[in-house]
A = this chain, B = another copy of it.
Amino acid sequence: MSCLDQLKFDANGLIPAIVQEQKTGRVLMMAWMNRASLEKTLATGKTHFWSRSRQKFWMKGETSGHTQQVKDVAYDCDGDTLLIQVEQIGAACHEGYQSCFFRSMQDGGKEFKITEERLENPEQIYGKK
């Protein structure tokens, strides 16, 4: 796979993947992939990542049903970041927002503002904890 050989995975074998909703241009999330999760993403057309906190391979939506259908996989000039265009089912953020980037800084970083409506209650997505 020639493109994959051009990529620079970091010392932990990971590369950051920015996920953007193709139809709206909204940046939904950023997560990490290792080579195996990128290969699985390309082979299945569903995004797969590597969780650094859980040290675990995961498919986006495996618990919530909020999968991402891959439309395009681009990589940057340095070969060390991916940009993945997707069709997103449901909310991308585990907190129930469309995008994980639902807070914007205000007043030079002193305050923040929530810039999106919450689409779903996390308890409805993942069950009560």
Contact = CB atoms under 8 A, between A and B. Distances in A.
Contact of A112 (B3, B16, B24, B83): B3
Interface string A3-22: 11010000000001010100
Nearest to A93: B77
Interface in A1-60: 1-4, 6, 16, 18, 20, 24-27, 29-30, 38-39, 42-43
Interface residues of A, number: 43
Contacts of A26: 25
Q: For the complex formed by this chain, how many copies does it contain in all?
A: 2
Nearest to A100: B76
18 contacts: A1-B108, A3-B110, A4-B109, A18-B30, A20-B27, A24-B25, A25-B25, A27-B27, A30-B81, A38-B109, A39-B109, A73-B109, A74-B102, A74-B103, A74-B104, A75-B112, A77-B94, A83-B101
Given A76-B93, A77-B102, 18 more contacts: A1-B110, A2-B110, A2-B112, A3-B103, A3-B109, A16-B16, A18-B27, A20-B27, A24-B25, A42-B108, A42-B109, A74-B104, A74-B105, A75-B101, A77-B94, A77-B95, A81-B100, A83-B101
